Amino acid sequence: MRSILNVPSWANEGPEDFEYRTYRMLSHANSLRELLKSGKLWDALIETDEVLDFLYHYDAEKMIERDVFSSTQLTNVDWDNIELVYETGTELADENLLDELVDQAIDVYEVLHSEIREQWRILDSAMTISYAGNRPYFVNDGFVIVTTPDNMVHLYSFNNPSVNYQADWKKFKLIHISTEKYNPDEVLLQISEIKEKDENKIVYRVNLKNTIKLEGGPINVISSNVFMRLRKDYGF
């Protein structure tokens, strides 16, 4: 299997010097940490995941190569299945240098990933998700109604995830439709109108207790939870 990976710039740009590469790697990790602090949880998560994917694959490939070359039996080795394809199309830095740096880099980005997941957990623990109206028998397009502590209500739509996304929750998106002052009667009327037009539409209500800003992270936590709820309830 061939894996398409993004190579972080510190792994293939600049002088091939261990201290320089270490400095570049730590600076990049710190920039992602600042991104997280500024409220851009999703961007920090995606980029950290990409770096860890590269590091894990690189480390695994080197372990496989070492095992293969240290063996006295080289029969039945499927070289194609351990080949990595790097998306930049450029040469990596000296592999001996990366071999020295990879363990430290994995530790640094795993710590960062834990910090991101903790922020994710805090958001996740402060929201509730429930069906609005009857639950349809089959997975379908739908809507998500989000209320926030500033007494606002936000309406989002989503496409049937079984058609385009399957098991890839990161590609599942909620599309913003409107934001209004919260009025419980109007929300109930909105749900009734949706169901009257198409009773097979799925409608979720989300109550978010600890943030009023949805973009940058909270809406992605909501999106992930909705996707997992859909998979659990409809088994696609």
- Tell me, yes or no, whether 220 and 143 share the same domain: yes
Number of domains within the chain: 2
Of 124, 154, 179, the one marking the end of a domain is: 124
Beta bridge partners of 158: 142
Q: What is the CATH number of the domain that holds 222?
A: 3.40.1530
Phi, psi of 5 (to 5 degrees): -125, 145
- Tell me, yes or no, whether 226 and 135 share the same domain: yes
Give the pLDDT band of residue 140 (cuts 50, 70, 90): very high
- pLDDT tens readout for residues 155-197: 999 999 988 766 678 889 999 999 999 999 999 999 999 999 9
| Residue ranges making up the domain that contains 16 | 3-124
Residues ≥6 apart with Cβ < 8 Å to 68: 74, 77
- pLDDT tens readout for residues 48-106: 999 999 999 998 887 776 554 444 443 444 434 444 444 444 445 556 788 889 999 99
- pLDDT tens readout for residues 200-227: 999 999 999 988 889 989 999 999 999 9
Q: HSE on the CB side for 203, CA within 13 Å?
A: 21
pLDDT of residue 67: 55
Angle at 93 between CA 87 and CA 94, to 5 degrees: 135
**Residue pair 16/100 in contact by the 8 Å Cβ criterion:** no
- Tell me, yes or no, whether 140 and 218 share the same domain: yes
Instruction: Report the range out of 12-16, 108-112, 232-236 with the highest average pLDDT.
Output: 108-112
